[in-house]
Amino acid sequence: MTLIKSISGIRGTIGGNTNDNLTPVDAVKFAAAYGTWLKSYANKEHLKVVIGRDARLSGEMIQNLVVSTLVGLGIDVIDLGLSTTPTVEIAVPLEKADGGIILTASHNPKQWNALKLLNERGEFLDAEQGAKILALAEKEDFEFAEVDNLGEITKNDSYIDIHIDEVLELPLVDAETIKKAGFKVVVDGVNSTGGIAIPKLLEELGVEVVKLYCDPTGHFPHNPEPLKEHLGDICKKVVEEKADFGIVVDPDVDRLAFISNDGEMFGEEYTLVACADYVLSKTKGNTVSNLSSSRALRDITEKHGGTYEAAAVGEVNVVTKMKANNAIIGGEGNGGIIYPESHYGRDALVGTALFLMLMSERGGTVAELKASYPSYFMSKKKIQLTPDLDVDALLEAMFNKYKDEEVSTIDGVKIDFPENWVHLRKSNTEPIIRIYTEAKSQEEADALADRIIGEIKEEAGI
C-alpha cells in the first residue's frame, strides 16, 4: 500500500492509514490544496471546475469527497460523472472553467485511484504549479466558504457525446470514407469508460463493433495496462471474429493499442507512428515524442519532410516541446496520441479516428501496414543499486564515456548510436537505474541493454 505525491497529482491505494494511502482524508486534503491554489492562480471571484472519473470501484466515493471539498471552498463544479481523461480535458475550455480534476489511476490496477489536475486550458499543470499544491497540502492552511457562499454542482453527462462530435468534426476525419471501408473491430474497454466511448465513436463511423469487457463496472478483467502479456483474450477474439483489427484502451482512455488482423500486437509504440503517418501525409509539419519512444517516429517524420524532436518523459514535457516546435502531432510511445488540432492531451478517441482514416485510404490489412514501417525492437530493464551509490555520478560517467556519440541529458542520459539507442533514467523514489534500448532486432536490443548494465556495474564496483 502506498501514496505517491508528485507534481502531476496524488496517486495511491484505497484503504489503510492516512498519509500512507489514498484515504478519504488524503483525497479531501489534496482537493482542498488544488482549490486553494486555483483561487490564487485564477484571481477571480467565482470559480468553476470540471470533474470526471473512470469506472474504478472507488471512483464514486473519491468523486463525492472531491466535489464536496470544492463546494466547501465556494467553487462551482461541473460533474461529468463517468468520463475519460481526454473528455474532461476538452470539457474544461468548452465550459469556460478555471480547471479540472480527473479521478483515475490510469493503467494502475483496481485498488489504485488518483487525482490528475488540469489548468484552465484543460492541460496538465506544470512542475512549479504542482509543487505549490503539494506545499499547500502539507501545510493544511485552507479557508473554506461561509454557508451563503458555497459552490453549486451541475451534473452534465453529455460530454462523451460532445467529445465524439468534436472528433467527427476534425478536418482530417471523414465519416463517409470510413463507413465505405466496412470495418469490423473488436474493442476491449477493460470494463471502464473506454467501453462506453470507443464503441459509440465506432458506431458513429459506421464500424461494426464486437464488444469485449465494455461494461463499466470497474472490475478489470485483466491487468489494465495495455501490454501484450495482458491481452490474450482480445488477440484470440480478433482472429475468431475475422475482424479487421482490435482496439484496446486503458481505464481512462488516453492510451491506445491495436491488435492486427492476425491476432498479433500492432505495438503500442506504433500507434503514434501510424497516426503521424496519416496526419503528415495530409499536413506538412513536425513531430515530438519522449526520449524513451521509438525511433520509427523520427523515420516517418523525416520521410514526410518534417523534423522530429524528443522531449523529457512526461506528458507535460511533450506538450511544452510540441508548442515550442509547432508540432502538428506528437505523444508518447505508450500509445498516447496528442493532436493539437483537437487539444493538447493524449486521446484514444482521436487516435482511433486517425487510424481508421489511414486504413480506409491505404487499404490492405493492419498486419501489412505494420510490415511497411521501419522495424524496431525494445528492451526495458533496470538495475537495483545499493542506497550508498551516487546514481547521478554513475549517469555522468556514462555520459563522459559516450560523449562523442549523439547524447541528450534533458532526462537522464540518452545515447543515440547510428543503428540503435539506449536511455538511462534514475528513479525518483529508489536507487534504481532504468535502461531502455531499441534496435533492429530483439536480440540486439537485449544485448545492448546487457552491455550497458555491465558497464554501469563495473563503474559502480558491483
d(CA 36, CA 142): 7
Residue type for position 305 = G
d(CA 315, CA 294): 16
d(CA 167, CA 342): 7
Edge-to-edge order in the sheet of strand 9-13? 3-6, 9-13, 112-118, 99-103, 48-53, 76-82, 153-155
Buried b (16+ CB within 10 A) or exposed e, 161-197: eebbebbbeeebbbbeebeebebbbbbbbbbbbbbbb
Is residue 79 within 8 A of residue 155, CB to CB? The reply is yes
d(CA 319, CA 333): 14
Q: Which of 106, 192, 289, 294 is catalytic?
A: 106
Let me know if 293 is a catalytic residue.
no
3-state secondary structure of 143: coil
Please give the grid coordinates belonging to residue 421.
Answer: 539507442
Residues 6 or more apart whose Cβ sits within 8 Å of residue 182: 206, 208
Which are the catalytic amino acids?
106
